[in-house]
Structure 1
Amino acid sequence: MVLIEDKLIGDEILEAHFVCNIAKCKGGCCEDGDAGAPLEEAELVELENNYDVIAPYMSEIGRNEIELQGKYVHTEEFGEVTPTIDGGLCAYGIKDDNGVIFCAIEQAYNDGKLQWKKPISCHLFPIRVKLPDTDMEMLNYEPREEDHLCNPACQLGEELKVPVYKFLKEPIIRKYGTEFYEALDATAEYLNNKD
């Protein structure tokens, strides 16, 4: 692991390759998981304040789940998360005619209706941020390999030779800032060239 600022970064974030291949995985990470997307405190406010803007982009069943469960729900393991439909698809997820899942929040953002793109936990995937009982955050690379969901992304990343942290440059900067990303990039360059 590498320490940058007060964050422990798993080596695979610098060494492994990954590029989402949505044509193959169809956005399955939005449908099949342990819970909905973990939400930060500020994101709860975004959902409360902007739900009326997001709702038109959602499916009818997704809106119905929000009516039943609320805009977010609490779990013991993950804290506040997005609601899901029958424990599967995120309530904010929408499937197109080809079965590809898109995010209603992101669609509203792409149309210029929101300043918030989507939950940072989604944007950072397959990096997962863990907060152990210390002052440090741990960033780990955790693609969905056990069910082969992320295999196409791992293969495409390998073909294109794109490291995980470079593929996720935008969300890393969004979460931690440009200086952190530049330090991460410099660390990766140093480690890759020191042999």
Structure 2
Amino acid sequence: MFQLGKTIVSEDILQKDFVCNLSACRGACCVDGDAGAPLTADETKILEQIYPKIKPFLRKEGIAAIEQAGTWVTGSEQDLETPL
């Protein structure tokens, strides 16, 4: 464990891959942050394939964002991510 500001952080964070826990956060980091959720190249292909199937379940704001930017974008640091 180490301290980062006022937060105690497990050293596991340095060795384990990032994984969303949507049941815990309800997508808060994807909404409140300055970038979308991080993606791999394989995940971008999956999003392109499943978008027509999940579109009816998305909010109109989500559909508008995807229709404008696509199912994924390249972020400011050239990382793949979901559109905001």
TM over 0.5: yes
- Post-superposition offset of 1:75: 1.2
SS in 2 for 1:37: coil
Alpha-carbon distance in structure 1 between the residues aligned to 2:38 and 2:26 = 20
> Which one has a bigger Cα radius of gyration?
1
Alpha-carbon distance in structure 2 between the residues aligned to 1:56 and 1:21 = 21
* Structure 2 match to 1:31: 31
Code of the aligned partner of 2:10: E
Unaligned runs of 5+ in 1: 2-10, 15-19, 85-195
Unaligned runs of 5+ in 2: 2-8, 13-21
Code of the aligned partner of 1:37: A
State the aligned residue count: 68
Structure 1 residues 26 and 71: CA distance shift in structure 2, 3 A: closer
User: Runs ≥4 in structure 1, deviation > 6 angstroms?
Assistant: none
- Post-superposition offset of 1:80: 1.3
Identity among equivalent positions (%) equals 40
Structure 1 residues 30 and 12: CA distance shift in structure 2, 3 A: same
Deviation readout 1:115-167 (Å, 9 max, x if unpaired): xxxxxxxxxxxxxxxxxxxxxxxxxxxxxxxxxxxxxxxxxxxxxxxxxxxxx
* Structure 1 match to 2:75: 75
TM-score after normalising by structure 2:
0.65
Code of the aligned partner of 1:33: G
SS in 2 for 1:30: helix
Alpha-carbon distance in structure 2 between the residues aligned to 1:58 and 1:66 = 10
TM-score after normalising by structure 1:
0.30
